[in-house]
Amino acid sequence: MFPHASSGLNAKSLSDYIREFNKAHRAKLHLWGRTHGAVVPGEPIIVRFTIPDILIAYLTLVSQSSLLTESVTTFGPRERVGASHRVCIRREM
């Protein structure tokens, strides 16, 4: 879904990457937020990944020199919000 960290994908180039990804794939990526507005430096970025009739995943990304995945929360196509499956990813540097 996302290129390797060494590719240089960062918060500034994320919108362009999402646009190109959505043109090339049936699955879709969308920036998600409670309100519209610019990404605030240091705040997590939430991306919604949707595979129609399969799953919806919310990826929490943190921005350092490149974007890193902090956590992933998934839902099946017919699950209620309270029935999520959360996977936390921690990377020690």
DSSP 8-state symbol, 65: S
pLDDT tens digits for 48-72? Answer: 999 988 899 999 988 777 788 889 9
Q: Could you tell me if residue 82 is inside a domain?
A: yes
Q: Could you tell me if residue 30 is inside a domain?
A: yes
Q: Which pLDDT score is estimated for 27? A: 93
* Total number of domains in the chain: 1
Q: How far apart are CA 27 and CA 89, in angstroms?
A: 22
pLDDT tens digits for 12-39? Answer: 888 898 999 999 999 999 988 766 666 5
Residue 7 has pLDDT above 80, yes or no: no
Q: How far apart are CA 73 and CA 35, in angstroms?
A: 20
CB 10 within 8 A of CB 65: yes
Q: Could you tell me if residue 93 is inside a domain?
A: no
Domain that holds residue 61: 5-88
- pTM of the entire structure? 0.69
CB 89 within 8 A of CB 81: no
Q: How far apart are CA 2 and CA 19, in angstroms?
A: 13
Q: How far apart are CA 44 and CA 32, in angstroms?
A: 11
Q: Could you tell me if residue 43 is inside a domain?
A: yes
